Amino acid sequence: MEHISLLSWITIIGVIATIISTVIAILHYRHDKSVGRNAGYPAGMSDTEDPDSLREEESEFKLSDDLVTRVYCGVPKNFIARIFYDETVSTYNPSRENTAFIVRNFDWDGNFDVIRPCDIHLGFDRWDFREKRHTEHFEYSQESLGTLYAILLPSGVIFGNFKTVVFKPEYYKSFQALPLKLDSTMKWFGATRDRKVIAVITNKGGTLSVIRDTLSSKVEIQQVPANLSGNTLFCGVYFHPFNGPVKAFYAYQFQVDMEDHGQQILSRYDFDSLEITHSIGIEGLQNIAQRPDMKHLTAISKTELIIMDARDLRIIRKIPLSLARDREKYVCPPIQYSPCGRYLAYSYALTGDIEIVDANTFEHLHSFISNGIPASPIKWSADGRFLAAGFSFRNGKNNQLHIWNVQQARLVTKIDGLRLFDANVQHSEHPGNFYWHNSRYEIMVLKENGHIQNFRYVSPNVSRD
């Protein structure tokens, strides 16, 4: 022992400290994974049990496939320092969105191709869902910031954190760094249904960046003025989410609180020329949705629904919201028309209730109770029969995905452990935390523990033995 030098002792102590710190980090991670890190609720909100309770055996969407995703990356240089300076390795807290071991989101091509962002480095991982096989790991950089988003394109993958990169595996695995800098809470992507075009607002609302996938090793990127700087830092891009030609899209400001921020700007862009055709200012704008026939665009604000002509943004009708919202402090209301064109679904109240109205008359049809905070986009099945929405709960209760049969006004499935990211980006379709199949009654869900699970509809008239 006397022959061991001081430097050797320092090295041994350093190794022991590294092992202890890593074990602490893993324990934090497992604890967070088991209990979930959920958004705080406004004061005075109750956490009562959902009166529309549902036993697991009554669920009409059954687990059919389970993909276990793993971390395929090394430990960053400042990992130990991050453990000491972060109170915990969080799975939800947006203020530590770049910490390690965060299963953030994923994307799915509707068949077997699944990707999700790399946990620690700038890159992504790809799986074949049918064979439960990891097929690709790509790292653009060994930098220690995790990847915030990864989106499938027809011929590649776009991914990034504060850097944005396009990877084209079919073209000799070429990659292309784009002049885009995004963050995790204020800017996110709009995408066409075929994923050939995605767009985002950058430069503090001053620039619209449009990325077009091409049959070459590079994507085309166009940047034009957005004129959305000013009253808010939150901006979104909205493409028509249904089948049919894309002739226009919308860029807009929105607010995520009930304060007085003045008018938020909504602009309509020509799809080909990227020129602004019309603009309107809306007081307290929070989200928008377009009808499947593309005739009307509906905005939800702090106090009302605003129905506009989708071509010239002329206001046709205003409908006051039925519940008071003055006490809300956590607001970013999801809203979406059904693909069949019959319904409009939205949620705006502290209770998290989903309101279903007639898409033509706006007559109230149903209220679906959740007793949680809506914290994801509302998403319809391909034919508008089922509606899915994600909710967060307080007091350690798991995040949940609820699925309703809209025609029967009946809750048919609850899925525990839904992964939720910052609720201010719930306008986003890509990337996401759950997706419906394009034609079947199937839904792919990202769980807090990193599992990606597929649930299929089982008719209640069919034996489940």
Domain spans in the chain, listed from the N-terminal domain onward: 59-457
pLDDT at 123: 87
The answer to whether 378 touches 346, Cβ cutoff 8 Å, is yes
The answer to whether 169 touches 136, Cβ cutoff 8 Å, is yes
Q: What is the pLDDT of residues 304-316, one digit of tens each?
A: 999 999 999 999 9
Give the C-alpha separation, 417 to 420, whole Å. Answer: 9
Low pLDDT (below 70) residues in the chain:
1-4, 6-7, 10, 21-57, 70-103, 142-144, 170-173, 182-188, 229-233, 324, 326-331, 349-351, 394-396, 421-430, 461-465
Give this prediction's pTM.
0.81
pLDDT at 100: 40
pLDDT at 54: 63
pLDDT at 327: 66
Give the helix/strand (H/E) hosting 133.
strand 133-141
Q: How far is CA 271 from the centre of its chain?
A: 24
- Helix, strand, coil percentages in the chain from 3-state DSSP, rounded to 5: 10, 40, 50
Structure tokens at 118: 């790399």
Which stretches of 47-141 are DSSP H helices? 79-85
Give the C-alpha separation, 452 to 128, whole Å. Answer: 12
pLDDT at 224: 94
The answer to whether 281 touches 227, Cβ cutoff 8 Å, is no
Q: How far is CA 465 from the centre of its chain?
A: 35
Give the C-alpha separation, 189 to 441, whole Å. Answer: 26
pLDDT at 169: 75
Structure tokens at 341: 């064109």
Output DSSP code: residue 15.
Answer: H
Of 3, 50, 37, give the one whose Cα is nearest residue 351: 50
pLDDT at 234: 82
Say which CATH class 59-457 falls into. mainly beta
Q: What is the pLDDT of residues 293-303, one digit of tens each?
A: 999 999 999 88
Which stretches of 36-170 are DSSP H helices? 79-85
Give the C-alpha separation, 119 to 75, whole Å. Answer: 10
